[in-house]
Amino acid sequence: MMCEDARDPADTADARTGFILRGRVQGVGFRWWTREAAGLLGLRGTVRNRADGSVEVHVAGSARRVRQFAAMLRSGPPPARVDRVEEIPCDPALPPDFQVLF
């Protein structure tokens, strides 16, 4: 008897993307919340504040978890207000974990 792999390909396929988040996303713990959310999902990448008041995120991991993470970013932590999410090309050089950049 052969055993089939019951895993969904979306659980193993690697996805990479970047985001620019605009709204009240600085000074509300957004970067730390993002690092925590990414860690819980087993994703790797970076998050940083930008000079224009936005937050930039680059992330890689399973396609399903990256989609889940993207949905979480659209609301952010309780004190934040995300007005706009722009998808951008992912930075090709990501760390092996998820880091807050300064």
Q: What is the DSSP letter of 27?
A: S
* Domain 14-91 indexed as CATH 3.30.70.100: yes
* Residue 59: CA count within 13 A, CB half-sphere: 28
Q: What is the mean pLDDT of residues 5-14?
A: 61
| Residue 77 confidence (pLDDT) above 60 | yes
| Residue 7 confidence (pLDDT) above 80 | no
pLDDT for the residue 4: 45
pLDDT for the residue 22: 98
Q: 35: part of which helix (H) or strand (E)?
A: helix 30-41
Share of the chain above pLDDT 90, in %: 86
Higher pLDDT, 2 or 87: 87
pLDDT for the residue 24: 98
Q: What is the mean pLDDT of residues 11-28?
A: 92
Q: What is the mean pLDDT of residues 50-66?
A: 97
Distance CA 91, CA 60 (A): 10
C-alpha closest to that of 27 among 90, 77, 65 = 77
The overall average pLDDT reported for the chain is 91
Catalytic sites, residue numbers: 31, 49
C-alpha closest to that of 61 among 37, 25, 87 = 37
What is the domain partition of the chain in residue ranges?
A: 14-91
